[in-house]
Structure 1
Amino acid sequence: MEPDDLEAVEFVRDESGVSVVVGGHPQSHVPDDPEFLAFEYIAHLAACLDLLLPPPPQRVAVTHVGGAGLTLARYLAHVRPGSPQIVLEPDAALTEAVRRAAPLPRGHRIRVRPTTGEEGILALRPASADAVVLDAFVGGRVPAAVTTLEFLTTAAQVLSPGGVFLANITDEPGLRYVARVAAGLSEAGLPHRALIATHDVLKGRRHGNVVLVGSATGIDTVELDRRLRRLPFPTGIRSDVGRWARGARPLTAADARPSPPAPDPGRWRVR
């Protein structure tokens, strides 16, 4: 989020934690219990990290593109104590407000860098992260610059051998935007891909969140499907992304665009 685009931030407490609402859009939920993941896409991201990386409590190095409530980073700090994490979040005022409303745990190794994802990724060393997690939003939409082939290529180079790229992308029925990002992942050197979403989103019944997974070395989609079935959300996985996204063109810097707007801003991601 660029400085000129800063949006009003609200913190809404409920019985389980604090919701971070930016510009009227629920950005994240920071639970009192780090293992209680209220938003389905955060639970999907956590399940991928738990299964596709060495199992907890082993430490892993994770780079997050987008910070908001730092919910996933807090979860990783809880289940994998001592794991080094870098968060690329340009809105320093938001980060400071979040940390006041919901302080980070003692002994954490979460380092927030006040920079955009496309700039911050360029400063990272090759093969320095076991996972790169894209979860960045401005005005309820994924910024254009972080879904381009150029960005994805750099992100793939940041991954260690066997590392995994995860992206939370919002899209409308048909998932044409997600297909273009998936095509970019393949061209960036991460040809093994999967899509994860609740059944209604995956079947094209509504606008919503899709977690896109990319790897250079393969994804155990059978075991991942088993893991996802344990969640309290009706979740599905699509492993035939190569066939499904055939014909889709990667987004590039020349034709970059943000993800499609939600039909009902401020409500589509509310629990």
Structure 2
Amino acid sequence: MNAVEFRADRDRPHLLHLVADQVIQATIDLDDPTYLDAEYMQRMTYLIDAITPTGQPLRTFHLGGGALAMARYIAATRPRSYQQAVEPSQEIIDQLRRYAPLPRGVKVKIRTGDARTQLEAAPENCYELIITDAFNGARVPAHLTTIEFLQQVKRVLSGGGHYTVNLCDGGKLHYLKSCLAGMAEEFDHLTLMAEPAVLRGRRYGNVVVCAAETALPEDDMRRRAAGAPFPCRVVSGSELAKLIGYAKPFTDATAQASPPPPKTWREH
């Protein structure tokens, strides 16, 4: 990754865009850390806000740091939360500390390195929430969707903990289905959120998947999704099983990165 910088928004100077190779990777609001520009991040908050009351600290592990938009949201809505973020780019971390430092009192430990390596080094039963939002360029790295990776996620999650991941796919959704098959094999409960057009294979886009060993707050998530400016579908149970079909989970031996987006695509 080259040419990493933060750029102020032309119309709203308090918005900063993290730009890498001339592509906006993330956006943060320095005045309002609860503002999340990306729709997939907004959908992740449907899970977060449903499982943890506002104000209650939440131990969170972010696999993928970027501009720390989600970490800022959790810190603002749940003060005293302990958070750790893994970011492979030292250049991004340097730019972050220089131009968009975290407010005083916000506890987010930032580590440089590979997300899976840091996950494997984490102690058992350590985090209540693990969020994977990691990309190499515009693709989810292959080693962050396999059965072996998911087993490490389960090991590090505390009892009753939750896992959520941002995935991207389009067309016949072969990649997504294999990711879902692995998560369904490792976790008792699984739910996804996505735009209907993505699930019908009509366009490429983000899919947020949530998993846990305990029942997920699906009704609450559906209410939040229905009231959003851009509503999405919440899919679980038999409907999700039908989507997965006969797909086989990825293993370390068969892993694939997510398919590249079309040139005209901009993540939501």
TM tier, smaller: over 0.9
Q: Which amino acid aligns with 1:64?
A: H
Partner of 2:227: 230
Across the aligned residues of Structure 1 and Structure 2, the Cα RMSD in angstroms comes to: 1.5
Distance in 2 between the 1:200 and 1:34 partners? 30
Distance in 1 between the 2:55 and 2:184 partners? 30
Distance in 2 between the 1:199 and 1:125 partners? 38
Partner of 1:103: 101
Partner of 1:44: 43
Partner of 2:7: 12
Shift of 1:159: 0.9
Shift of 1:250: 0.7
Shift of 1:238: 1.0
Distance in 1 between the 2:23 and 2:258 partners? 15
Q: Deviations over 1:219-241 (max 9, x none)?
A: 12122100122222222111132
Query: Identity of counterpart residues, as a percentage?
Result: 35
Partner of 1:3: none
Shift of 1:24: 3.4
Partner of 1:142: 140
Tell me, what secondary structure is at the counterpart of 2:26? strand
Q: Which runs of 5+ in 2 are unaligned?
A: none
Tell me, what secondary structure is at the counterpart of 1:69? coil
Tell me, what secondary structure is at the counterpart of 2:33? coil
Between 196-205 and 39-48, report the one with greater CA deviation. 196-205
Distance in 1 between the 2:242 and 2:198 partners? 19
Distance in 1 between the 2:198 and 2:29 partners? 25
Q: Which amino acid aligns with 1:29?
A: T
1:218 aligns with 2:215: yes
Tell me, what secondary structure is at the counterpart of 1:94? helix
Q: How does 1:96-135 map to 2 (within 5 A)?
A: 96-135=94-133
Answer yes or no: is the 8 Å Cα contact 1:19–1:30 preserved in 2: yes
Distance in 2 between the 1:178 and 1:191 partners? 18
Q: Which amino acid aligns with 2:38?
A: F
Answer yes or no: is the 8 Å Cα contact 1:25–1:139 preserved in 2: no
Shift of 1:244: 2.0
Between 99-108 and 11-20, report the one with greater CA deviation. 11-20
Residue 153 of structure 2: which of 152, 155, 166 is its match?
155
Between 253-262 and 224-233, report the one with greater CA deviation. 224-233
Q: Which amino acid aligns with 1:61?
A: R
TM-score normalised by L of structure 1: 0.92
Partner of 1:174: 172
Q: Which runs of 5+ in 1 are unaligned?
A: 1-5
Tell me, what secondary structure is at the counterpart of 2:163? strand
Tell me, what secondary structure is at the counterpart of 1:27? strand
- How many pairs were matched up? 262
Distance in 2 between the 1:268 and 1:54 partners? 31
Shift of 1:117: 1.0
Show structure 1 runs of 4+ deviating over 6 A. none
Between 196-205 and 29-38, report the one with greater CA deviation. 196-205
Q: Which amino acid aligns with 1:157?
A: R
Partner of 2:262: 263
Partner of 1:85: 83
Partner of 1:208: 205
